[in-house]
Amino acid sequence: MRLFRVTLDEHIPILVQDDVRWLLANTDKANSAAKAIEAAVRHGMNAEVEAGLSHRFAAVVARALNAVATPMTAPLPEALLTLANHKGSPVRKALVELLAAKPHPEHLPALFVLAKDDWSPRSSYQGEEDDYPIAQAAIGAIGKLGPLDVGVADELYRLAIDTRDSDVRYEIFALLVRAADTRFQGQLFDLAVNPGRRTVRLAAAGALMAGHEQVTSEIVSQITPQLLATRIEGISSRLLLLVAVRAEVDQVLKAAEALSTMEKRRVLLLLAIWIVRDRDTSAAERIARILPANHIGVKWALAGAKGKLADTALDDLGDPISVEQVLLFMGPKKKK
């Protein structure tokens, strides 16, 4: 009956204060306690809401935390920041969302704790990478704090290498490119081009490509034709895109000429054409002339990859792995 009254109160306000207190103190069901704390928030039962921050059910603590902290200005008090160590994932999830909405440097220690959070909403199977949404949100919140100190960047870099979540790794690498000392770009470049775990290498190259506006000319100059010809396709495609968008046209043309001699990889030139066409139309056309005349794939790249190609349209320009890389970046995006 008490739960019924609290539930009815969601639609027709009634006096439920005694019901709220009883449920919070006595119910052994988390959902019932959660409904009770929501009613406490609606009725301005401040003492009960404050007490909810130490309730035995995480669902109650999370709702109390949102109610208490949402009106506050940053930085949040230390008592709330210590909830980054709470055993209940709903509490940590609520906290990281609050910290993302209220960026402040004093939140950084709590955000570091949350960045290492390995809670996952699903079970992972052997060989699969995990999914750590709380950690992902923490990295996003750290990204709102501006330039990273070297010590902070070092710790993030180590976390990226060790994590089992590829999204966390990529987001950290991307953050290092745009907000850390440029020496981290060199570390990411070394990760990308040297032997190592494929997922780490792809994340490093992808972060450099995505952060091309911040990447130094020294890094771009190290992307030689030989490098593009000898690294795995996923790395070559990302580094070629970086060259196409940032390098001098002569460097782009030399890279294109080198790849054109490799039957398995010449399809990657479509990536260069696609990017360079916006910078230098004549250069894009020069690259296009390296490939078979009137090829539908070349026309497609020169047109900005508009429209859909037949499934086998690019098969004569490269091997399946290289074709897959081209379609990954230039193909139509699937609707979520």
Q: What is the mean pLDDT of the chain?
A: 94
Is residue 75 reached through a cis peptide bond, with omega within 30 degrees of 0 on the bond before it?
A: yes
Residue 160 · residue 168 · CB < 8 Å: yes
Q: How much is the pTM?
A: 0.90
Residues 9-33: what's their mean pLDDT? Answer: 90
Neighbours of 236 (CB within 10 A): 25
pLDDT grade, residue 303 (50/70/90)? very high
CA angle, 225 then 178 then 274, to 5°: 45
pLDDT grade, residue 12 (50/70/90)? confident
* Share above pLDDT 90 across residues of the chain, in percent, rounded to a whole number: 88
- Classified as helix, coil or strand, 70 is coil
- Distance, in Å, from the CA atom of 331 to the CA atom of 318, rounded to the nearest integer, reads 16
Q: What is the pLDDT of residue 336?
A: 39
Q: Which of 18-22, 106-110, 189-193, 221-225 has the lowest mean pLDDT?
A: 18-22
Q: How many residues does the chain have?
A: 336
Residues 185-192: what's their mean pLDDT? Answer: 97
Residues 99-125: what's their mean pLDDT? Answer: 92
Residues 243-256: what's their mean pLDDT? Answer: 96
pLDDT grade, residue 126 (50/70/90)? low
Residue 129 · residue 168 · CB < 8 Å: no
Residue 164 has pLDDT above 70, yes or no: yes
Domain segments of the chain: what residues? 1-71, 229-336
> Which CA distances in Å does 140 have to 41, 168, 174, 212, 289?
29, 9, 10, 19, 43
Phi, psi at 247, each rounded to 5°: -75, 165
- Distance, in Å, from the CA atom of 228 to the CA atom of 94, rounded to the nearest integer, reads 44
Q: Which of 77-86, 211-220, 247-256, 302-311 has the lowest mean pLDDT?
A: 302-311
DSSP secondary-structure letter at 122?
Answer: S
